[in-house]
Chains A and B, each alone.
Chain A
Amino acid sequence: MSEVQVDAEQVRAAGTSMAEVGHTVGSCTMGEDLLAVAGAVDGADAGRAATQLAEQWQEVISTWTRAAQAQAEALRASADSYDETDRASARAQQHLGGRLAVLP
């Protein structure tokens, strides 16, 4: 079993930053920009190719954003879990300390 070291606050901060990055990337609506190509080159194959790529970009950005939010949630959940484990361990130690106090 591997050794575990963790600063839960740092993990939580990483999760918060990840959520912000996901929000930034999600606002990059490159696909919408690209749709203008089709109207600029009437009759050209490039217009259809640009539309196809625009849809692809929308999908990729959307998928990436969801993955980033999932990662952010996972990091924050890990931090919460570590905090909870730590609190539970502390309670156990305190409880044990109380029982040891009654020993002669």
Chain B
Amino acid sequence: MTLTLAQVRTWRPQVLAGVADALSVRRRQLLVAVEDLDLEAAPPSSWTGAAAGAATARHDELRESLAEVTGEVAGVISALDAASAAAQAVCDDLDGVLSFAAGQGCRVDLHTGTVHASDDGADPQVIADRLTGVLSAAVTTDAELTRALHYATAVLGQAGPGAEEPEVTRLPAGATEVEVARWWNELDPAAQQHVLDHHPEWVGNLDGIPAWARDEANRTLLPRYRDELAAEHDRLLDLAIAGPGGSDFFIRAGRTAKMLEGLAQIETVLDRGDRQLLLLDPSGSHELRAAVAVGNVDTADSVGVMTSGFGSSVRDSLASYDARMSSLADLAATESLRQGRVQEIATVSWHGYEAPQVDTGLLLPSRSVLSAAPAEAGAEDLASFLRGVEASRETPAHLVPMGFSYGSVVTGMAMQEVTGADAMVLIGSPGMGTSDLADLQLPEDSAYMIEARRDVIADTGWFGGDPSHLDGLTGLSAREETIDGVTYTESVGHSNYFEEGSTSQYNLAQILAGQPEHAVEHHGRGIGDWFSQWWSR
């Protein structure tokens, strides 16, 4: 149903707040009821025997379902409070725009949104744009409240005593991403919600599941993992203090502490809002694995997936990568708009592999930055993730994997599998695992690289040769460039490709937006490449 400004004009946000207040009173009653169930109505603990067992089981079921209902009421109260505030802001904005329009002598048709200009030449487009913004905010407010209410409906459908458990067919092991997507789509909404509530670990990291469901599952799992890791950390410390093998336990406790800090970083990033937690895996031997999207991966027209490089970790790098991806998504949307295209953009900070670190792992082939082994392992998972994004969506996205530094090795290797990617960008890359572009499963002329001056890492060509010498890879500029009268800055060295206002960020945005014709090309070769061309041969 299409919302009109005339309808929004009649909204009464204070009623939503009033309903929230009334529900708060009800919720307190329910909380007291739950407490009474525990203290007064429970079968006496001294009562034993078969009848006592049956009565206790029934009591526990009643208590659990009432507690669940109470929890869902709390969720609805929060949603109503948020909607009330958002709706109030929408109404205030609408009043403001209408007052402004009246001041300009413009007349607004609230049913169609049409602005009729005044005789003295006031620009109606400015007012129309502002009204579009107000309506868009109203639609968002409605969508968020609707989603919260639908969620509560689905949960409560299963909460009542005696409610039937939905039938969920288990997914066969080894299913492809397409099979996973089909399995999920064939579950009815109640069964999907049952999986999310009772088996979030099935789907949080499962490629082929829609992003919204992965996000919901992983957000459920996050506090659970935090509690488990905290308990494990304490246990390891006790063992370290208690007896032999203490140093090993200390090291393991340190890793666990690092993962806990990683979880805290994820929570910080999620608090920024408009995020999806698409991967959460604390089962790694050394590093927490995670992926966080900015925007909505299920619906975005273009989806960029950035793989981090050497020394990166969820704890130390996620927050900065996420900020960069947020800026990149904004810029890509802006650049699209400049070309007359309205695009929804999502970007993913993918820390889905255990990146090589500056630690004793440098000496181990399985974990060293000089070894391709970590990249090979990561490439397999990245390829699966990308296929999963495509399989889970109703329509394919313009999908652009990007890899920075060692992450570009992961990305290049992943592109040697069929993923559905439409373009790839290697950034400050020491290689892509092959020197032959024919190995890449990408559309023609859609493999790009960016190399800044004095980026010595990108000149090593350690993994299949320096990309700046490979035929068929299109070089994008990281130099200072003036485009349409705007001067973009140069990136120098290995670590400045994502700077705001830089040419490299501008070029990444153009590729992400599917507008390569507006990117600025440059071969990226410098003095370091003069040397690297010899060892690349």
> Interface residues, chain A, CB within 8 Å of chain B?
2-7, 10-11, 13-14, 17-18, 20-21, 24-25, 27-30, 33-34, 36-37, 39-46, 49-50, 52-53, 56-57, 59-61, 63-64, 67-68, 71-72, 74-75, 78
Cα distance, A45 to B80, chains bound together (Å): 14
What are the residues of chain A within 8 A of B339 when measuring CB–CB?
A: none
User: Can you list 28 A-B contacts (CB < 8 A)?
Assistant: A2-B50, A10-B44, A11-B44, A11-B47, A14-B43, A17-B36, A27-B29, A33-B23, A34-B19, A37-B80, A39-B12, A41-B87, A41-B142, A43-B1, A43-B8, A44-B11, A45-B142, A46-B142, A53-B150, A56-B153, A57-B156, A63-B161, A64-B65, A67-B161, A71-B58, A71-B62, A75-B43, A78-B51
Residues of A within 8 A of B49 (CB): 2-6
Q: Does B159 contact A (CB under 8 A)?
A: yes
Contacts A3-B48, A40-B12, A63-B161 given: A52-B18 contact, CB under 8 Å? Answer: no
Per the bound structure, the CA–CA distance linking A68 and B162 in Å amounts to 12
Decide yes or no whether B22 CB sits under 8 A from chain A: yes
How far in angstroms is the closest Cβ of chain A from B86? 11
Contact of B156 with A56 in the complex, beta carbons under 8 Å: yes
Contact residues of B: prevailing secondary structure: helix
Among A43, A57, A63, A75, find the residue whose CB has the most chain B CB atoms closer than 10 A.
A43
Closest Cβ of chain B to A80, distance in Å, is 12
Within 8 A of A (CB), among B65-98: 65-66, 69, 73, 76, 80, 83, 87
Q: 16 new A-B pairs (CB below 8 Å) besides A21-B33, A42-B10?
A: A5-B47, A7-B47, A10-B44, A20-B40, A24-B29, A29-B26, A30-B73, A33-B22, A34-B76, A37-B15, A45-B146, A53-B153, A57-B69, A72-B41, A74-B55, A75-B55
Task: Determine the distance from Cα of A36 to Cα of B23 in the docked complex, in whole angstroms.
Answer: 12
Within the assembled complex, what's the spacing in Å between the Cα atoms of A6 and B146?
Answer: 50
A63: chain B residues at CB < 8 Å are 160-163
Is there contact, CB below 8 Å, between A11 and B142? no
Residues of A within 8 A of B160 (CB): 59-60, 63-64, 67
Q: Which of B41, B83, B152 has the most CB of A within 10 A?
A: B41
Which residues of chain A have C-beta atoms less than 8 A from B1's C-beta?
43, 45
Closest B residue to A49 by CB, please name it.
B149
User: Which among B4, B13, B36, B65 is the interface contact of A20 at CB below 8 angstroms?
Assistant: B36
- Chain B interface residues (CB < 8 Å from chain A): 1, 3-4, 7-8, 10-13, 15-16, 18-19, 22-23, 26, 29-30, 32-33, 36-37, 40-44, 46-52, 55, 58-59, 62, 65-66, 69, 73, 76, 80, 83, 87, 138, 142-143, 145-146, 149-150, 152-153, 156-157, 159-163
In the bound complex, CA of A82 to CA of B40 (Å): 20
Q: Closest Cβ of chain A: how far from B339's Cβ, in Å?
A: 32
A28 contacts across to B, CB distance below 8 A: 26, 29-30, 33
Residues in chain A near residue B36, CB distance under 8 A: 17, 20-21, 24
- Asked whether A46 and B44 contact (CB < 8 A) given A5-B49, A41-B16, the answer is no
Chain A contact residues: helix, strand, loop or mixed: helix
A63 to chain B: closest residue by CB: B160
- Cβ contact within 8 Å between A42 and B40: no
Contacts of A45 in B (CB 8 A): 1, 142-143, 146
Residue of B nearest to A60 (CB): B160
Give the shortest distance, in Å, between B61 (CB) and chain A (any CB). 8
Q: Please determine whether A17 and B11 come into contact, CB atoms closer than 8 angstroms.
A: no
Q: How far is B160's CA from A13's CA once the two chains are assembled, in angstroms?
A: 25
**Across the interface, do B149 and A52 meet the contact criterion of CB distance under 8 Å?**
yes
Contacting residue for B149 out of A3, A24, A46, A61, CB 8 A: A46
The 8 A-B residue pairs with the shortest CB-CB distance, nearest first, are A43-B7, A40-B15, A4-B49, A17-B40, A49-B149, A17-B41, A10-B44, A18-B41
Q: Is the CB–CB distance between B156 and A53 below 8 Å?
A: yes
**Nearest-CB residue, chain B, relative to A74:** B55
Which B residues are in CB contact (< 8 Å) with A64? 62, 65-66, 69, 160-161
Chain A: CB-nearest residue to B142: A44
Q: Which residues of A contact B15 (CB under 8 A)?
A: 36-37, 39-40
> Which of chain A's residues have a CB closer than 8 A to the CB of B157?
56
How far in angstroms is the closest Cβ of chain B from A4?
Answer: 4
Provide the bound-state CA to CA distance between A60 and B65, in Å. Answer: 10
Residues in chain A near residue B46, CB distance under 8 A? 5-7, 10
With the chains together, A10 CA to B159 CA distance in Å? 29
Q: Chain B residues with Cβ under 8 A from A59's Cβ?
A: 160
> Would you give the shortest CB distance from B38 to chain A, in whole angstroms?
10
Residues in chain A near residue B48, CB distance under 8 A: 2-6
Residues of B contacting A2 in the complex (Cβ-Cβ under 8 angstroms): 48-50
The CA-CA distance from A4 to B54 in the complex, in Å, is 13
- Of all chain A residues, which has the CB nearest B61? A67
A33 to chain B, nearest CB (A): 4
Q: How far is the CB of B408 from chain A (nearest CB, A)?
A: 44
Q: How many angstroms between the C-alpha atoms of A56 and B4 in the bound complex? A: 29
